Amino acid sequence: MVSEPRRSKQASTIRTFRKLHRITASVLFVFFFIMAATGILLGLKKHSGELIQDKTYAGVSTNLQEWLPLDSLYTNACTAFRDSISTFLPLEIDRVDVRAEKGTVKFIFAKGFWGVQIDGATGKVLHVERRKSDFIEMLHDGSIVDYYLGIPHGMFKLIYTLIMGIALLLFTITGFWLWYGPKRMRRNK
């Protein structure tokens, strides 16, 4: 038999957790919805029939000794970018993705979510792609705000990730207690 003051304290704790759970959920609902939806899309990206992520095209040789120098491949990617995508967006590269097993080099440009796949051996343009999965990933982790507002060092992403991680941990703890607390109180009657 549990004393009435102890039972009252347990009930008060459950009410506090319920209120904390409800307020946090209300404030962060939109962010959790975006994170969940984009997480699902990212999980499906390789199985989306190229709706989310384009396939990696194959070059003619996987032997790196037969490949052109990286600066030549970059020049070809920039030419394709200017010819097919934009004459005014900067040619700044975000990253270069070398797929030796496919004979391909992907040049991902920093602005506009564009990429150009180049055959490593011939320098031929294999594919020009809109990087939809990169955009979705940036929505998912909050770095889209840093990208569009020019916030340095990914500070918004850091703060956003910390808030969402702490909130998820808080939801887990309070949710468990909201489920377990009443069971414990009934058992201790």
CA distance 186 to 1: 11
At 16 the pLDDT is 84
Task: Please state, in angstroms and rounded to a whole number, the distance separating the CA atoms of residues 37 and 153.
Answer: 26
- Would you state the pLDDT for residue 189? 64
Read off the pTM. 0.81
Q: How many residues are recorded in the chain?
A: 189
Q: How big is the CA angle at 95 (ends 104 and 72), to the nearest 5 degrees?
A: 55
Each residue's pLDDT, cut to its tens digit, for the chain (189 residues) gives: 556 777 777 778 778 878 887 888 888 889 999 999 999 999 999 999 999 999 999 999 999 999 999 999 999 999 999 999 999 999 999 999 999 999 999 999 999 999 999 999 999 999 999 999 999 999 999 999 999 999 999 999 999 999 999 988 988 888 887 777 777 767 766
Query: Can you count the helices (H) and strands (E) in the chain?
Result: 5, 4
Residue carrying structure tokens 């506090």: 16
Give the whole-angstrom CA distance, residue 139 versus residue 137.
5
What's the 3-state SS for 124-161? Answer: CEEEEEECHHHHHHHHHHCHHHHHHHCCHHHHHHHHHH
